[in-house]
Amino acid sequence: MKKVASLMLLITLLFIVTACNGNGDGGKDPIDRKQEQSTGGSRPTVKGVKNVDVVNTHGRIFEGLDNMHTFYENVLNGVLSDLRIVHYTIEGDPIVTDLKYDGEAMKVINDSTRDKFGSGEIETTKCSGLIEEVTHTNTTYFAVDCSDGHSGMLEILAIDYNVEQEDFFELALKYGNGLENEINTKTQVATRAPNSKETVTTSDFQLSSEVKQEVYKQLVMANYLGDIELVNNCHSNQFEEYDLQVYINGGEREFHWSSCDESPAGVKFTKIAEYIIAQSEMKE
């Protein structure tokens, strides 16, 4: 029953992202703002809210995490900057958090006026800055020295990637000019073709729990549950081809791309593939 519930949650999350993200201007009038310092990354699209930098859908699907980290670095370096985060409620309503840093202090503005079941208020808290807390299972950003909040701290964004909380997580990676190599933790078989006439197969193959944890972290950071566009038509043998299948609880996601893909998503997925390959070679 737990696996069925996890699968239903995954389907629900994907449905909410599709339903809530769009180009329309429905709902309440969007809050306009001028950005002092661009975070430099692409911006997610949220229906009814302008200038969104980061989207958090129930702590499972994240868009714009690069923008969050860039804003954090701007605060560390005293660069005037602001950031807009949208947190979706379980009902699919957006709660907007604006961070405004003036080089010395930061304002945290929480707008719940679009939340049908919330307070419907706009609350402003003054803080001195921002910290990033990173562990092997989560990354959390806190505003510190705040006029409100527990011990003067406000949680801004929590990114959880603890693979042990999932019922099932395995992967199958094919790679090479013709996808002739494969690392499959689901079937526990690794196949490597060092040349066109030779194939080496390893049975009872498995990656360590530490490696799986790191892979899962990188997948979450790459927004693997979101809408991702990857390039797989390089038309050249100079580039590696990759096909990655992720088996998560009762569902699966498949990604196909080439090493020529230099988009932010392509770079992240190539890094994931190279990490898996390097770790598998250490097992041989």
Q: Count the Cβ atoms, other than its own, within 10 Å of residue 196.
A: 8
In the chain, the DSSP E strands lie at 54-57, 61-63, 81-88, 94-101, 106-111, 122-127, 129-134, 138-144, 154-160, 169-176, 181-184, 189-195, 198-202, 241-248, 251-258
pLDDT of residue 148: 78
Mean pLDDT of 135-144: 96
pLDDT at 77 over 90: yes
Check residues 18 and 246 and name the one with the higher pLDDT. Answer: 246
**Domain architecture of the chain: domains with CATH:** 2-160 (no CATH), 164-283 (3.30.1560.10)
pLDDT of residue 9: 46
Phi, psi of 4 (to 5 degrees): -65, -45
What H or E segment, with its residue span, contains residue 171?
Answer: strand 169-176
Mean pLDDT of 63-67: 95
Question: Which tens digits make up the pLDDT trace of 125-138?
Answer: 999 999 999 999 99
pLDDT of residue 16: 44
Residue 24, classed as helix, strand or coil, is coil
Lowest mean pLDDT: which of 91-95, 115-119, 223-227, 264-268? 115-119
Instruction: Tell me the whole-structure pTM to 2 decimals.
Output: 0.82
pLDDT of residue 284: 60
Q: Residue 55: which pLDDT band, with cuts at 50, 70 and 90? A: very high
Mean pLDDT of the chain: 86
pLDDT at 205 over 60: yes
What H or E segment, with its residue span, contains residue 5?
Answer: helix 2-20
Residue 217 tokens, joined: 């972290």
Residue 109 tokens, joined: 């503005």
